[in-house]
Amino acid sequence: MTTRTFYIESFGCQMNAHDSEKVIGTLISKGYTQVDTPEKAELVLYNTCSIRDKAEQKVFHRLQQFKRDAGKGKVFGVLGCVAQQEGEKIFDRAPHVSLVAGSASYSKLPQMLVQLESGNRRVTGLSLDTDETFDTPFTRRDNPHRAYMTIIEGCDKSCAYCVVPFTRGPERSRTSASVIAEASQLAANGYTEIQLLGQNVNSYRDPSPVGWDFATLLARVAEVPGIRRVRFTTSHPRDFVKGIVDAIDANSVLCDHVHLPVQSGSTRLLRLMDRLYTRDEYLRRIEWLKNARRDISITTDIIVGFPGETEQDFGETVSLLDQVEYDSIFGFKYSRRPNTAALAMGDQIPEEEKTRRLMIVQEKQRAIQIRRNSETIGSVQEVLVEGRNQALGQWIGRTSQNRTLNFVRSVADSEALIGTYLPVRVTRAGPNSLVGESMV
């Protein structure tokens, strides 16, 4: 059996999307060819997410669809967070799967495939002890202008609702030399935007004797010649220091955007969640951001319906939205996850009540975004041109503040505009995007 064509589908966060780029590059370097449907592929891979129950169910639905193809020369593999979490139990739930590997094992994928080809029916890579995935020379990036780069893997926090410490293991930082080398290589290959990734980038600590902290690394990456934009995600409020705001203020290559997940506006609930900060401590960080010289946009994640969330706790989340006036939020209904501390907590909130609370949050935030976005009307913003919407006759751009700014241009253009930077005047604003006219 030789499996030479592969299909991969990714679920979950940007770290997973980037992991898939590493897997794709590794497989191509070994002579595999990527195809665009599972039907055409001899090897079908799902890079999975386990953050909420719905995300976990997706992979089992997908596998179910192809149950009949088992034994017909198709090999199925489950990668990522569900793989790490469920391990060999996946073979019981979906017996036609023959490969299960967590994110720390991707550099060993070619060896695992050889084992399958030489007759092993089932192969696993589930160790979190070693991680050789930082320096991946074969990474096949999806976007020719904007590149993801992992700087820290895993998470040492233990938020009561979260599976990530179990699915990604303990924190491991990459050496600063390796980060700078990859950033320089990316610039040499024509990339102008870099997005630094980690579950908690703020706790980055250079393992080499240089010992840079995150703010220093950020400042240094922004100095790499050819790089015009640097973003980073995700920041944990507890480890978010003023030095990060100072770095943004000092170099406009660092984008005017910070994603600072709060989860809840109630200190009582934050304690139950084990988030390691109070509402006031969180608001102090927001103040640093608002007092910066640059106009930094702030976004967040909110969980509604965590066990024990009273009407009063929820009210404090709603009042926090008014107080901070986020530029955008991701709102989630609490989902019970395996292994987590909150699983055993009493006082679970009924599903309908979670839905009601999420709708309140989203309606409130929609009004805030309409107001925030309309404040940009008349301003001129630099966009990175990301694509074209033929139907609307518009170009799609992204501002430093991470807003989508669709715009028109009077000159006839070619696709070569994609990947360039242009000044655009904002003329209209909706809740989720802006519209404008190119200035040149």
CA distance 297 to 375: 12
CA distance 383 to 396: 9
Position with the least CB separation from ligand F3S: 12
Residues 142-201 that bind ligand SAH (CB under 6 A): 161-162, 164, 199-200
Which of 48, 50, 176, 263 is close enough to bind ligand SAH by CB under 6 A?
A: 263
Considering beta carbons, is residue 49 or 368 the nearer one to ligand F3S?
49
State residue 288 phi and psi, 5-degree precision.
-55, -45
Residue 100 near ligand F3S by CB under 6 A: no
For residue 68, the SS3 value is helix
Considering beta carbons, is residue 168 or 403 the nearer one to ligand SF4?
168
Could you give the string, one character per residue 39-78, with x where binding to ligand F3S holds by CB under 6 A and - elsewhere?
----------xxx---------------------------
CA distances from residue 113 to 35, 81, 252 in whole angstroms, order as listed = 17, 20, 45
- What kind and span of H or E run contains 268? helix 267-273
CA distance 379 to 436: 10
Residue 303 near ligand SAH by CB under 6 A: yes
Structure token digits, residue 284: 């102090």
Which of 12, 154, 169, 305 is close enough to bind ligand F3S by CB under 6 A?
A: 12
Could you give the string, one character per residue 145-184, with x where binding to ligand F3S holds by CB under 6 A and - elsewhere?
------------------xx--xx----------------
Nearest approach, Cβ of 54 to ligand F3S (angstroms)? Answer: 11
- Neighbouring residues of 39: CB distance < 8 A, sequence distance ≥ 6: none
**For residue 104, what is the DSSP state?**
G
Q: Tokens 């946009």 map to which residue?
A: 297
Nearest approach, Cβ of 153 to ligand SAH (angstroms)? Answer: 12
Residue 209 identity (one-letter amino acid) = P
**Interaction partner, residue 20 (ligand F3S, ligand SAH, ligand SF4, none; CB < 5-8 Å by kind):** none
**For residue 263, what is the DSSP state?**
B
Q: Tokens 């404008």 map to which residue?
A: 436
CA distances from residue 79 to 95, 166, 278 in whole angstroms, order as listed = 15, 14, 36
Which of 261, 397, 419, 436 is close enough to bind ligand SAH by CB under 6 A?
A: 261
Contact criterion met (CB below 8 Å) for 408 and 395: yes
Q: If 0-12 CB within 10 Å is exposed, 13-18 middle and 19+ buried, where does residue 365 land?
A: buried
Considering beta carbons, is residue 142 or 375 the nearer one to ligand F3S?
142
**Interaction partner, residue 167 (ligand F3S, ligand SAH, ligand SF4, none; CB < 5-8 Å by kind):** ligand F3S
Considering beta carbons, is residue 200 or 438 the nearer one to ligand SAH?
200
Considering beta carbons, is residue 146 or 259 the nearer one to ligand SAH?
259
Binding region for ligand F3S (CB under 6 A):
12-13, 15-16, 49-51, 80-81, 163-164, 167-168
Binding region for ligand SAH (CB under 6 A):
51-52, 161-162, 164, 199-200, 234, 236, 261, 263, 301, 303, 332, 334-335, 337
